[in-house]
Amino acid sequence: MPPGEQAVALAAQRAALPPQVQIEDVPCPMGCPGPDTEIARSWDRLHGVSGTFTVVRCDACGLMRTTPRPTLETIGIYYPQAYSPHLATTAAPRAGLLKRLAIALRLDGTKSLVPPVPAGAALEIGCASGRFMQKLRARGWKVSGIEPSREAAARAAAAGFSVHAGPLETAPAPAEPFDLIVASHTIEHLHDPLGCLRRMRAWSKDGAYLTCEIPDAGGLLFRRFGGAWYDLDLPRHLFHFTRSTLAAMLAKAGWKLVHAHCHRTLNGLAGTLGYSLRDRSEGKSALGNALMRFPDSGSRLKLLSGPLSGLLKAVGQTGRMVVWARAV
């Protein structure tokens, strides 16, 4: 965008933002000189905090990013106390017989993010209220966490975990290197993902694993629906990765992508269709509203959606991927 047009766009965006939010324009973190191509524009569809945001794709490397974006110091307004990932991850009470059986059979939700290696020292980045750390601890891992939300970090600490309450950028170095770092639904939120991935590498043993679930911006949902894609989630998602752009950034940070597969879920499709229907009806679609509630619901429909989510996984079009990388 020419400088004059960019200045006008920035002024218009600032006028629509909450007064406490500061924004910044950022270059491609891979060091590319540009130019960029605008590919989507949207807003905070999840909580309705004001502001319109743009996604651009680097013409050189293909990495997509949100720019301009809220600064690290002011983006917290887009993570209100009602932010569902913080509320839905509180550590559960002591496991009963059925839960212990699920742990033994690896049916506790850890299989996709915990490689079959001996338990050691683990870190969860973006640990929210501690539920996944509890699962790691039950499997024998010595686990700690990092969580920017002080309220969610306090709930995790109350469950007995050592948690740094603040962004990854301000976390102290660990006393011992990690065997496993889990950063699920985290990397896309980072203001400096390359620098943070390098920091994770410095904290890890040679051969340690980094695992995550992450939106797949290379899928059909984003190509077809653009700004209405559920997992675009502006402005909380600052980077929008495809498998190839994530692999390139991991490699630049000292990690090697060793495994990637499509995550089985219907949340992305349901949420995207919900947003699209609401857009077409100016917010008056009852079906659109119901579909938007599906990802965070405990609906029995989720139990019946297995065949469809399995089909979407088979063709690689759920909109999310699970990735394992190793420290090299």
| 91-105 per-position pLDDT tens digit | 555 555 555 555 555
Q: What is the pLDDT of residues 18-49, one digit of tens each?
A: 999 999 999 999 999 989 999 999 999 999 99
Based on the number of CB atoms within 10 Å of its own CB, is 83 exposed (0-12), middle (13-18) or buried (19 or more)? middle
Q: Enter the pTM of the model.
A: 0.88
Q: What is the DSSP letter of 189?
A: G
Average per-residue pLDDT in the chain?
89
Cis ω on the peptide bond leading into residue 148 (within 30° of 0)?
no
Q: Which domains does the chain have, with CATH numbers?
A: 3-78 (no CATH), 84-259 (3.40.50.150)
What is the C-alpha R_g of the chain? 20
Burial of 313 (0-12, 13-18, 19+ CB in 10 A): middle
pLDDT digits (tens, 9 = 90+) for 283-298: 889 999 999 888 887 6
- CA 59 vs CA 10, 63, 80, 190, 247: distances in Å: 21, 8, 34, 21, 17
DSSP state of 227: G
Share of the chain above pLDDT 70, in %: 85
pLDDT (0 to 100) of residue 306: 79
